[in-house]
Amino acid sequence: MRCKRTIGRRTGLHSTMSEAATIVTRATILSELNESTESLHTKGLDADTLAAIYNDYSSRLPALTGIAEQVVQTLRKAEGVHALTHRLKDPLHLLQKIIRKKKEYPSRDLHPGNYLDYINDLIGIRVLHLYKADWQTIGNYIEQVWPLKRQPYAYIPEHSAAAIVQLYKNSNCKLVYHPAGYQAVHYVIATQPGKQRYYAEIQLRTLLEEAWSEIDHRFRYPDHEHSALTDALLRILHSFTTNADETITQIKALADELNASTSTSQSRTKTVAQLRKYISTLRIPETEKQQLYRSIDKIL
What would the 3-class secondary structure string for the chain be?
Answer: CCCCCCCCCCHHHHHHHCCCCCCCCHHHHHHHHCCCHHHHHHCCCCHHHHHHHHHHHHHHHHHHHHHHHHHHHHHCCCCCCCEEEEEECCHHHHHHHHHHHHHHCCCCCCCCCCHHHHCCCCEEEEEEECCCCHHHHHHHHHHHHCCECCCCEEEEECCCCHHHHHHHHHCCCEEEEECCCCCEEEEEEEECCCCCCEEEEEEEEEHHHHHHHHHHHHHHCCCCCCCHHHHHHHHHHHHHHHHHHHHHHHHHHHHHHHHCCCCCHHHHHHHHHHHHHHHHHCCCCHHHHHHHHHHHHHHC
Given 165, 194, 220, which residue is the final one in a domain? 220
Q: Which domain holds residue 255?
A: 228-299
One digit per residue, pLDDT tens: the chain, 300 residues?
544 433 333 334 544 444 444 689 999 999 999 999 999 999 999 999 999 999 999 999 999 999 999 999 999 999 999 999 999 999 999 999 999 999 999 999 999 999 999 999 999 999 999 999 999 999 999 999 999 999 999 999 888 888 889 999 999 999 999 888 889 999 999 999 989 999 999 999 999 999 998 898 888 765 556 678 888 888 888 888 888 888 888 888 888 877 775 666 677 777 778 778 878 877 778 887 787 777 777 665
pTM of the model: 0.80
Q: Is residue 3 part of a domain?
A: no
User: Are residue 35 and residue 147 in the same domain, yes or no?
Assistant: yes
User: Are residue 238 and residue 195 in the same domain, yes or no?
Assistant: no
User: Are residue 23 and residue 171 in the same domain, yes or no?
Assistant: yes
Given 220, 245, 265, which residue is the final one in a domain? 220
User: Are residue 110 and residue 40 in the same domain, yes or no?
Assistant: yes
Given 176, 201, 220, which residue is the final one in a domain? 220
Q: Is residue 276 part of a domain?
A: yes
Beta bridge partners of 201: 124, 188
C-beta separation of 57 from 91 below 8 A? yes
User: Are residue 212 and residue 130 in the same domain, yes or no?
Assistant: yes
Q: Is residue 1 part of a domain?
A: no
Number of domains within the chain: 2
User: Are residue 232 and residue 122 in the same domain, yes or no?
Assistant: no
